[in-house]
Amino acid sequence: MGDRERDGYVLSDDANRVDVDRVHRWLSEDSYWAAGRSHELVSRSIEGSLPYSVFHGDEQVAFARVVTDGATFGWVCDVFVAPGHRGRGLGVWLVDSIVDDLTGRGVLRLLLATRDAHEVYRRSGFTPVAGPHRFMEIDRRPTRNAVLGLT
């Protein structure tokens, strides 16, 4: 994908540019789905995924990653935009760019989960899962209830 620029922001898929400390802080302290996630776990998750970052100058202001086999399936996750940069369309730009990048790689099935941002992802083409009864899971995350909105 390379770098893309828009309105003074740069979107990059360069894994070496990810500010792992910042992403860890966002996920472990500011997100409901990854609260308390260790730095080591965040670092490993980034290493095992395709990471995408948005920068304003040298400061990372948004992040997302995709867990994928690079051929048939991708799970978009850990999408986060720093509070001071929200409301500028960065999340939609980030997700649209991910969808474009993976589609260009031939990955035709993408999945994500959200508790409260359905409209954001609808703008990028996501719809409710068809046939949700086919999906099964084992979910041992300590944040499970928060993810499901049960707390």
Mean pLDDT of 100-119: 94
Helices (H), 35-78: 39-47
| Domain range annotation of the chain | 4-128+137-147
How confident is the model at residue 1, as a pLDDT? Answer: 76
Mean pLDDT of 101-114: 95
Query: Virtual CA dihedral for 114, 9, 29, 77, nearest 10 degrees?
Result: 30
Residue with more model confidence, 107 or 141:
107
Share above pLDDT 70 across residues of the chain, in percent, rounded to a whole number? 99
86 pLDDT tier (thresholds 50, 70, 90): very high
Topology of domain 4-128+137-147, per CATH?
A: Aminopeptidase (3.40.630)
CA distances from 15 to 59, 60, 130, 151 (A): 15, 12, 32, 34
* Global pTM value: 0.91
